[in-house]
Amino acid sequence: MNRIEDRLASLELKHNVKILYACEAGSRAYGLATESSDFDIRFIYIAPLKDYLSLRKKKDTISQQDDMYDIQGWDLKKALLLAGKSNPSLYEWMLSPIVYRELDVAMLPLNDIILKDYSRKVLAFHYANMAKNNLHAWSKKNVASHLVHAVRASLMLEQVIHNDEFATIEFQHLIKNSNTFTNEESSLLFCLKTGEEVTDIPLISQLFAKVSNFITASEELMVHLEEGKVKLSVLEELFFQQLGIEGE
């Protein structure tokens, strides 16, 4: 943890920004990491006021990558604009069980906006497309990670459609709350993810078919989901508060 905090602090100094929130994304946050998994660190930052007033266009992302760490941050303005569009990445960041920098107190309303006011329809279509794309990739390349991601996306889709209260990105919790996928299938996916030999080939075929059928069945429900109620005025007020600008 100290190494990650040191990296975050270094980025703040290098780019003259303040990190408002930082978390783990990807396999470690999902509970699907292996010994070779890297760290996928994501954060939201705010730049000095003059950067937002400058006539010159400023970068709105910060990235740093090596063999062990994949670090990416979004400027607050970019993050808020994407929140207004119910961006799925922000949704998962707020649900991450591994937090390196707790959300700035003044930004706590953003957590509620993302987890309560997001468009379930946008999220559902995102996860349905992710599942479809990974199923297609699995059928073409037979790479284990594609089937794992297809099932994970399907579990997220199931959660978005059918669960109004409990939300998580942790794979084991998703399986536990699923009415579609089983612990046996979860164990199979962990074997595939870690490269263990899988002898139950029929179960893999059944799992592929189950994901495909689940997506098809879900498509009829997705079109009736809520559009969301994120208000740009509320996001803008959060932005002004962080910049120290008083509202009207």
How is residue 21 written in tokens?
Answer: 């929130």
- β-strand pairing of 99-101 with 39-46: unpaired
Pick among 3.30.460, 1.10.10, 3.90.320, 3.30.750: CATH of 2-118+229-243: 3.30.460
Residue type, 233: S
The domain limits of the chain are 2-118+229-243, 120-222
Burial of residue 65, with CB atoms counted within 10 A of its CB: 0-12 exposed, 13-18 middle, 19 or more buried = exposed
Q: Hey, what amino acid is at 130?
A: M
Q: What is the dihedral of CA 10, 58, 109, 88, to 10 degrees?
A: -90
Task: Take residue 229 and report the two structure tokens written for it.
Answer: 């109620």
pTM of the model: 0.92
Tens of pLDDT along the chain (248 residues) come to 689 999 999 999 999 999 999 999 999 999 998 888 899 999 999 999 999 999 998 899 999 999 899 999 999 999 999 999 999 999 999 999 999 999 999 899 999 999 999 999 999 999 999 999 999 998 888 788 899 999 999 999 999 999 877 799 999 999 999 999 988 888 888 777 776 666 666 778 888 899 999 999 999 999 999 888 899 999 999 999 999 987 55
